[in-house]
Every structure is written in C-alpha cells, then in structure tokens.
Amino acid sequence: MSDISKFNFVSLEVEAEGTLERDATGWKFSEIKLRPLLKVAQEKDHDRGARLLEKAERACLIARSITARITLEPVVELVPEIALSEATL
C-alpha cells in the first residue's frame, strides 16, 4: 500500500490481540484487535499515514475472509527528523 501510494515512513510495528470463544462447533476467534504503530518523519505525513493504515485494513484479503470482528486501533507517531538522522549514525 505504501509503495503504490509513494508514502515514506520510518517504521511500522503491528501488535495483534485475539479473543477466543467456544460455541457448539468448537473454538473460534470472536474478535481481533490490530494495533499498528506507524512512525513518520514529517508532520505532513501524519494524517495521510492514518488514512493509509485504514485503507490497508479494508483492502486486506485475510481481514475480509474471516468472520471475527476486526478492530483497528492505529497510532501514527512523529519521529523528528533530527532524531531520525541521529539514529542512522
């Protein structure tokens, strides 16, 4: 999604949490929470990054194929350019 959109970012980490429930047929996931943490270098990329995370979730083949409720809890964090250049030294 970021390549197609020509969107540059510093890093992306995703935490996932699933809730299992048992019904008459056995165990299944009833809910999955996805918590992506997207780090961007420029303030102008904050809102666009959030929109792209939501778009990626809607376009995800796996997410569209499972019956469990999926909750997206995205966080976009600004990493100042000065801190970014220091991290690459």
- With cut-offs at 50, 70 and 90, classify the pLDDT of residue 77: very high
Indicate the pairing of strand 75-78 with strand 11-23: unpaired
Spatial neighbors of 17 by CB under 8 A, at least 6 apart, are 32, 33, 35
- Residue holding tokens 């409720």? 69
**More confidently predicted of 66 and 1:** 66
For 19, 30, 31, 72, the CA distances from 51, given in Å and listed in that order, are: 26, 26, 22, 12
Residue at 34: amino acid letter: L
Domains in the chain, CATH or no CATH each: 2-79 (3.30.300.20)
Quote the pTM value.
0.77
Taking only the tens place, the pLDDT of each residue in 14-45 is: 999 999 999 999 999 999 999 999 999 999 99
Q: What pLDDT is recorded for position 80? A: 78
